[in-house]
Amino acid sequence: MASEFEDIKIVSFDDKATYKSDASSALMHCVLDLSASAPFEWSNYFNQRWKHHFYMMQRNASVSERRLEIYCVPEELQQHHIPELNKVIAETNKAYREHLAKTQQKASQVAAAEASERTKLAEMKAGLKFD
């Protein structure tokens, strides 16, 4: 059950998907494209970790599938937000790899236990007499 996970990263800014929810504000919902669709657990870890990650210019951000959306002034992206987002993404990639390793180890243990049980049943079957 080996699963190859490639680190997720920000690959581009989607200017066409970026939008303003308040015409009187300089803040916009800036959409960043990710290198891959984030698995559910990865997204959850990122979203939770971002809520607890603090820096002076922090804004609301969340991941869903191939998008990372941050509510900010677009001109702040390069200098303030992308470096911080990249830190949390790196932490998330590491945590997700650890999660995958634990999940795969547990699946291997379950498979080994089931194989052992099947072997014992086969040995028992060989020793059964029906007449």
> What share of the chain in percent tops pLDDT 70?
98
Decide if 59 contacts 71 (C-beta within 8 A). yes
Rounded to two decimals, the pTM is 0.79
Domain-located, residue 114: yes
Give the structural domain span for 22. Answer: 10-127
pLDDT tens digits, 62-71: 999 999 999 9
Closest Cα partner for 67 from 30, 20, 27, 21? 30
Helices (H), the chain: 40-52, 82-127
pLDDT tens digits, 11-42: 999 999 999 999 999 999 999 999 999 999 99
Domain-located, residue 2: no
Vertex 55 angle, CA 83 and 61, to 5°? 65
The structural domain count of the chain equals 1
